């Protein structure tokens, strides 16, 4: 069964109108979008493409970086993490614990991003071991290395936790490395979705081929 359009995917907004001239003879293009225009939240390179074609192209560009979200109390953060992971062509976003989450913050990017659910952290760590991924916990805890100073592993799974409790004891034990983000103000912690974006971008700066960025 085809999923219904997301709340922002087909609404009014920036985009392009109907295709002008003869339509391209290319199976990546969606005939309906060519006729009606494309106002989806996608980069210009993917205008008029089918969802399946976009996913296939991103799959060829994905990085060996995975991110995991441990039981966020405010699950609106999950959508922000998914949206950022999509922007950085992260391989997979892993959601640990509750399967249901508020997709509004993802701005429909969950339709193009690989997602995987795990019942608990132990299951997530087993996945990482089988996939040959080094686990990096991101949390402002004593003894954590500065994210700004460390060399992040290329084949990597980053774990993020709730803003209050932080990562679980299982994640702390299973991580090869724990990193913290340098802070200078009065707040005890950074918003979890923001922290995830900072950490993902740190990986991008170290390992991504920036010539392939849009």
Note the pLDDT tens digit of each residue in 107-159. Answer: 899 999 999 999 999 999 999 999 999 999 999 989 999 999 999 999 999 99
Domain(s) labelled CATH 3.40.1280.10 in the chain stretch across 62-208
pLDDT given for residue 103 in this prediction? 83
C-alpha span between 159 and 204 (Å, rounded): 16
Instruction: Encode pLDDT of 75-111 as tens digits.
Output: 678 999 999 999 999 999 999 988 788 888 888 999 9
What's the rounded Cα separation, in Å, for the pair 138 and 119?
20
pLDDT at 166 over 60: yes
pTM of the model: 0.90
- Quickly state the pLDDT bin for 6 (edges 50, 70, 90): very low
- Whether 152 and 202 have beta carbons less than 8 Å apart is answered as yes
Position 186 scores a pLDDT of 96
Taking each helix axis from N to C end, the angle separating 76-87 and 192-207, rounded to the nearest 10 degrees, works out to 20
| pLDDT per residue as tens digits for the range 25-42 | 999 999 999 999 999 989
Please state the CATH superfamily assignment of the domain spanning residues 62-208 in this structure. SPOUT methyltransferase, trefoil knot domain (3.40.1280.10)
Mean residue pLDDT of the chain comes to: 91
């Amino acid at each position: 069964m085809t999923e219904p359009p997301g709340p922002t995917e087909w609404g009014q907004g920036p985009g392009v109108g109907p295709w002008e001239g003869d339509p391209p003879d290319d199976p990546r293009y969606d005939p309906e979008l060519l006729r009606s225009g494309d106002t989806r939240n996608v980069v210009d390179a993917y205008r008029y493409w089918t969802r399946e074609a976009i996913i296939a192209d991103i799959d060829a560009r994905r990085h060996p970086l995975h991110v995991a979200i441990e039981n966020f109390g405010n699950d609106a953060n999950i959508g922000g993490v998914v949206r950022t992971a999509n922007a950085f062509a992260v391989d997979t976003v892993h959601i640990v614990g509750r399967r249901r989450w508020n997709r509004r913050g993802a701005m429909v990017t969950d339709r193009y991003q690989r997602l995987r659910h795990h019942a608990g952290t132990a299951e997530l760590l087993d996945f990482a071991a089988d996939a040959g991924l080094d686990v990096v916990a991101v949390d402002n805890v004593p003894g954590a290395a500065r994210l700004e100073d460390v060399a992040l592993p290329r084949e990597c799974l980053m774990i993020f936790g709730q803003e209050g409790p932080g990562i679980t004891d299982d994640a702390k034990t299973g991580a090869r490395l724990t990193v913290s983000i340098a802070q200078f103000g009065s707040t005890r912690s950074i918003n979890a979705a923001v922290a995830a974006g900072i950490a993902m971008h740190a990986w991008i700066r170290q390992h991504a081929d920036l010539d392939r960025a849009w």
